[in-house]
A and B are shown apart, each in its own frame.
Chain A
Amino acid sequence: MDNDSSTPTAAGPVAAKQHIRKMPVNWWLKKPAYLRYMVREITCLFVGGYAMFLLMLAARLDKPEAFETLLASPLAIGLQWVALPFAIYHSVTWFNLTPKVLVIWRGEDKLPGFLIAGAHYAGWLAVSAGLVYFAMSGGADG
Chain B
Amino acid sequence: MARSNEPAFWSLFSAGGMVAAFLIPAAILITAYMVPSGKIEADNLRMVMSHPISRLLLVAMISLPMFHWAHRFRFVLVDLGIKGCKLPIAILFYGTAVGSTICAAYLLLL
B-side contacts of A64, CB under 8 Å:
42-43, 46
Q: Are A47 and B28 in contact (CB under 8 A)?
A: no
Interface residue B86 (Cβ < 8 Å from any Cβ of A): no
Q: Which of A5-13, A83-91, A104-112 makes up part of the contact surface?
A: A83-91
Q: Are A127 and B22 in contact (CB under 8 A)?
A: yes
Interface residue B92 (Cβ < 8 Å from any Cβ of A): no
Interface residue B53 (Cβ < 8 Å from any Cβ of A): yes
Q: Which residue of B lies closest to A42 (CB)?
A: B76
Q: Are A67 and B104 in contact (CB under 8 A)?
A: no
Majority SS of interface residues in chain A? helix
Interface residue B91 (Cβ < 8 Å from any Cβ of A): no
Interface residue B103 (Cβ < 8 Å from any Cβ of A): yes
Interface residue A58 (Cβ < 8 Å from any Cβ of B): yes
Interface residue A135 (Cβ < 8 Å from any Cβ of B): yes
Interface residue B12 (Cβ < 8 Å from any Cβ of A): no
Q: Are B66 and A127 in contact (CB under 8 A)?
A: no
Q: Which residue of B lies closest to A85 (CB)?
A: B25
Centre residue among B26, B34, B49, B66 by max chain A CB count within 10 A: B26
Count contacts on B: residues with CB < 8 A to the other chain: 54
Interface size class, chain A: 35 or more
A-side contacts of B49, CB under 8 Å:
57-58, 61, 139
Q: How far is the CA of A13 from the CA of B63 in the complex (A)?
A: 42
Q: Are A58 and B62 in contact (CB under 8 A)?
A: yes
Q: Which residue of B lies closest to A22 (CB)?
A: B81
Q: How far is the CA of A44 from the CA of B68 in the complex (A)?
A: 7
Q: List 21 A-B contacts (CB under 8 A).
A: A25-B81, A47-B20, A47-B69, A48-B69, A48-B73, A52-B66, A53-B31, A54-B61, A58-B49, A67-B42, A71-B45, A84-B28, A90-B20, A127-B22, A127-B26, A132-B30, A135-B30, A135-B48, A138-B48, A139-B44, A139-B48
**7 closest Cβ pairs, A-B complex:** A48-B69, A139-B48, A80-B32, A128-B26, A44-B72, A68-B42, A94-B21
